[in-house]
Chain A
Amino acid sequence: MTIPVLTVNNLTVAYRVGQQELAVVREVSLAVHEGEILGIVGESGSGKSTLGLAILQALPSTGRICAGQVFLDGVELTGLSGSARRALWANSLRLVPQNPLAALNPTMRIGEQLIEAIGGDRTTATAQAINVLKRVHIPDPARVMRSYPHELSGGMQQRVMIAMALHGTPRLLVLDEPTTSLDVTTEAAVIDLLAELIAEKQPATIFISHNLGLVARLATRTAVMYAGELVEVAPTAPLFDRPRHPYTQGLLQSLPRPGLRYDHHPLHPINGTIPAPGALPAGCVFAPRCSLADERCRRERPSLIAITEHHLTRCHYWQQVTQGVPLPSVAASSMSSNGNGQVLLTTHHLTKTIARRQSLFDKLRGQPAPVVKALAGVDLTVHRNRILGVVGESGSGKTTLARCLIGLSEPSSGTIKLLDIPLAPSIQRRSREELRRLQMVLQNPQEALNPALTVGEALLRPLIRLGRMNRREARQRIPELLRLVKLPPDYIDRRPAQLSGGEKQRVAIARALATMPDLLLLDEAVSALDVSVQAAVLNLLAEVKERTGVSYLFITHDLAVVSYLADEVVVMYRGQIVESGPVQAVLAPPLHPYTEALLTATSSRGVRLREVEEPDSLSESGCPFYRRCPRTPGDICATTPPPWRDAGNGHRIRCYIPLEELQIIQRSVLIEL
């Protein structure tokens, strides 16, 4: 066995908060070999990013390594002098951070920053910088060298960061959520690139992520982190196939997997929330949330024990952790059609154009202001007691669509009808009854509740305003609402600061449901939540729908969630719907090439979009997708809008490529995955 590049010994890291120090990473030991990729998964607050920075000796000033050692090729890093540490930083230790825009100096050209990182003689460094940019598949290195960070797309910025991290011969690479700020299709390409470069340069790699799928794809070994501790470490495949720690198992069971349906298979979230640093339980850190926990777990802290040579777990009862997760038979997931099919809401050719800032000269010359079409003619139907999924990446117009429906922004043209009655475009013009029927839950739970108001007050207002109740009647309804979203009744007097993210989102859902709307718009309502919490909220949504008969318009970028929760799906690209129909039909061949790219993004052999910088304003003619289409479009795609093709059962695809042809290529792609 070779000597590992990186060895971490009993590392404990603490942050100073006010007058006290709180340990956020405790007694972590691990080793990574040359060319090996160790995945570290964990939910927010698990301490995984802190661990990464501590290994790099780059903790913020409030953080401190309290105990333990970090060895790189046998050299102890924690005790190094300033200049020796700088030399290591320059040559061996590298980081790819989560947010490339924040990590690049906004006032320096990309070239300058790269040359600075490469160091040495300027002319050779410049040549090397161009080479390394080519190496990360940047099409026009010379132009990128001259650019400032904000002039590049998020994917390009991250490629620059990767170039910066992988020039020369790095020994240790820390990837800290490197794709979390990117779109799904861009993420796929960036992960491909990382895999390629790591295979070539062979650094010891630590891949920190909350995304189990990505870790499964990239990491050779995986460590699961919870509340600052490693709870399970194993080669990736066995870890995912037979987890030996209840937390790992809980994470896996929280994921909506293909074949599961909301109306038949409730997910299995982990109860409770992660303990705050400084408020850790005495025994096993996971005991308060564990279904296997007993007196011993609450008293005695388990150590990390080896059950095989490579598989470690921190659990007294690892043998009782049930093996794997049973997959449901696909046949069970027949389409539920308990709705009576009555049309609830329709839009007809909804458009929304947003005027761009215009240069003074153009204004004086009387040029029309340049516009961006956020929505370009959207026709949509929502049925009673059904869930319509809206899928798309940033810039697809899905949020604009929701905001137009609710009236927070006014469409430029087109109509919205609720129960066949046209709705006023502006929210001020809508009647209270119309407001009551249509409610919305927003993406960010942190901003959903007013920090100054209690949960009770937040729930009271809709009942008073839209439910026409007086204060006393409304107060009596609140316990019932809290029960509906599975929150204890004493939460009524809490303030948002005392709630976790998942709890806040539950309150936001309760507030939106308070007056029994007909349609609830959910704009990425579970995207900001950790997987275990997301599972609980998805279960809640399924249950509430069953009990109240409400319809959802569910906006997301996550196909797994859509395939679990939606009855029907529309896929949007640059303000247009490119595919629509029942969920099973839409997510199986034939697929629109864009849907195909989304669907295969999670696989290393998936279809990738062509990388081009798209112009801001959308030309009226042609297919919105043709510039990035992976399926070699013809000239006609650029000039004439593609036709809607009918694939049967209400499944429609907007593309020139004949459906039979799509079906044949895509079948072979999907089989290969």
Chain B
Amino acid sequence: MIQYLLRRLILLGGTILISSLIIFLICRLLPGDVARVLLGREAGEAALAALRAELGLDRPLPIQYLDWLIGFVSGDWGMAYSTRQPIRPMVLERLANSLLLAGATLTLSLPLGIALGVWAGWRAGKLDDTLISVSTLAVTGLPEFVTGLLLIDLFAFRLRWLPANSSIRPDTPFFEILPQLLLPAITATLVLLAYIARLTRAGVISELEQEYTRTALLKGLSPLTMLRRHVLRNALLPTITVVAISLGWLISGLIVVENVYNYPGIGRLLTFAIDRRDLLLLQAVAMVTVVIFAVANLLADLMYALLDPRIRLGSEER
């Protein structure tokens, strides 16, 4: 197990390193001169050069990259050009908000999606399965800003149950945040829910076709015992992977949702940084997202390994 963990960690480190390089390169290929963006059109050549030197932009790219990477790893994320504030506290505060929203979304969509999927798979071919399958199919891939704005229209403007704007302040206590959290969470949940339900259903159906399910059947087990012990455990293995993959979806979704509801998360910060062409901020936000995504994937892999002895013992490789 420790072996496995170590191998995964090293692989993960490599992937994050490559991602960081990609992020850095994309950001540095930004057209236009950062110094000019910051100082405006009228700035003199001397002022521009001074700023470039101050920001370290006159050094060769590999040096800049290493410098930034080492800085990032050691916790020195620099100052944002646009707000003249240190980046780290800003990003971390927004990150906390985003994680809160993500947590709420997962709490809603995971149990519901898995339950729907198991139900549909168990009843495959019946009318209720057909309804679940077609409706989840229709909803997957519906952009969050469409569902989000329709939900705002309904719940905020027509029914007046929930606020349309979720620009929460950092010092608000949790139970006061809750109503503001609800609409964004529901919006992000819809798509994720459908996705998880579809894949869980596929997993359950393929488990039901396995030979060892027949073995269990022939032991005379009750349907519930069979479902619990033999079908679910194995069917949920692919679901874990699915959840890990759908975290990418969730992050993409949250970027949109936060912009729909003006929710002060990392997604808002990202669009803000792009708007202002704030290189360092952009890099930091992207890196944080990548690390979170990667760690979530690692956790999913570990969970998978814990549940599947074939992987845990590393014998089924290839």
Which A residues are closer than 8 A to B by beta carbons?
A: 56, 58, 60-61, 82, 86-91, 93-95, 97, 99, 102-108, 113, 116-117, 119, 148, 150-151, 164, 357, 359-361
Contacts and interface: CB of A to CB of B under 8 A. Distances in A.
9 contacts: A58-B214, A103-B211, A103-B214, A105-B216, A106-B309, A107-B308, A116-B219, A150-B316, A164-B215
A101 to B, nearest CB: 9
Given A86-B221, A150-B315, A106 B229 contact: no
A89 B217 contact: yes
Contact of A93 (B6, B210, B218): B218
A404 to B, nearest CB: 20
A87 B222 CA distance: 10
Contacts of A60: 209, 214
Contacts of B222: 86
Contacts of A106: 212, 234, 308-310
Contact of A58 (B217, B307, B309, B316): B217
Question: Top 8 A-B pairs ranked by shortest CB distance?
Answer: A90-B220, A89-B220, A102-B211, A86-B220, A148-B309, A105-B212, A117-B219, A103-B211
B220 A87 contact: yes
B316 A104 contact: no
Most-contacted residue by chain A among B7, B309, B313, B316 (CB, 10 A): B309
B314 interface: yes
Contacts of A97: 211, 214-215
B268 interface: no
B107 to A, nearest CB: 26
B3 interface: yes
Interface string B302-318: 00000111100111110
Contacts of A148: 309-310, 313
Contacts of B216: 105, 116
Given A86-B222, A105-B212, A116-B229, A150 B217 contact: no
Given A99-B211, A105-B234, 15 more contacts: A58-B218, A90-B219, A95-B215, A97-B214, A97-B215, A103-B212, A105-B216, A106-B308, A107-B233, A107-B309, A108-B229, A116-B216, A150-B310, A151-B313, A360-B7
Nearest to A105: B212
Interface of B: 3, 6-7, 10, 208-212, 214-223, 229-230, 233-234, 237, 307-310, 313-317
A89 B218 contact: yes
A107 B309 CA distance: 6
Nearest to B234: A107
Contacts of A86: 220-222
Nearest to B219: A117
Nearest to A89: B220
A571 B185 CA distance: 68
B42 to A, nearest CB: 59
A103 B211 CA distance: 5
B220 to A, nearest CB: 3
Most-contacted residue by chain A among B209, B215, B310 (CB, 10 A): B215
B315 A151 contact: yes
A526 B162 CA distance: 72
A97 to B, nearest CB: 6
B6 to A, nearest CB: 6
A148 B316 CA distance: 12
A139 B305 CA distance: 30
Given A90-B219, A117-B219, A151-B315, A105 B7 contact: no
B220 A91 contact: yes
Contacts of B209: 60
Most-contacted residue by chain A among B209, B216, B308 (CB, 10 A): B216
Nearest to A59: B214
A113 B233 CA distance: 14
A7 B313 CA distance: 47
Most-contacted residue by chain A among B220, B237, B315 (CB, 10 A): B220
A116 B221 contact: yes
Nearest to B309: A148
Contacts of A95: 214-215, 218
A433 B202 CA distance: 51
Nearest to B217: A58
Most-contacted residue by chain B among A60, A93, A105, A164 (CB, 10 A): A105
A103 B215 CA distance: 6
Contacts of A150: 309-310, 315-316
A650 B208 CA distance: 57
A99 B214 CA distance: 12
Nearest to A88: B220
Contact of A357 (B214, B220, B221, B317): B317
Nearest to A90: B220
Contacts of B3: 359-361
B212 to A, nearest CB: 4
A360 B8 CA distance: 11
A60 B124 CA distance: 14
Contacts of A56: 218
A113 B237 CA distance: 19
A359 B233 CA distance: 29
Contacts of B317: 357
B215 A104 contact: yes
A106 to B, nearest CB: 6
A271 to B, nearest CB: 35
Nearest to B308: A107
B303 to A, nearest CB: 13
A88 B209 CA distance: 22
Contacts of A93: 218
B62 to A, nearest CB: 29
Contacts of A119: 219-220
Contacts of A113: 215
Contacts of A102: 210-212
A151 B312 CA distance: 12
Contacts of B307: 107
Contacts of A89: 217-220
Contacts of B221: 86, 116
A359 B316 CA distance: 14
Contacts of B237: 107
Contacts of A105: 212, 215-216, 230, 234
A102 B214 CA distance: 10
A56 B218 CA distance: 8
B240 to A, nearest CB: 12
Nearest to A82: B223
A119 B216 CA distance: 12
A574 B51 CA distance: 72
B218 A94 contact: yes
Contacts of A58: 214, 217-218
A87 B219 CA distance: 9
Contacts of A361: 3
Contacts of A164: 215, 219
A61 B209 CA distance: 9
B241 to A, nearest CB: 15
Most-contacted residue by chain B among A56, A94, A106, A119 (CB, 10 A): A106
B218 A357 contact: no
A133 to B, nearest CB: 17
B248 to A, nearest CB: 26
A104 B212 CA distance: 5
Nearest to A109: B309
A8 B234 CA distance: 36
A360 B217 CA distance: 42
A93 B307 CA distance: 31
Contacts of B211: 97, 99, 102-103
A119 B221 CA distance: 9
Contacts of B212: 102-106
A552 to B, nearest CB: 32
Nearest to A62: B209
A58 B310 CA distance: 28
A132 B191 CA distance: 51
Contacts of B229: 108, 116
A86 B218 CA distance: 8
A83 to B, nearest CB: 8
A636 to B, nearest CB: 34
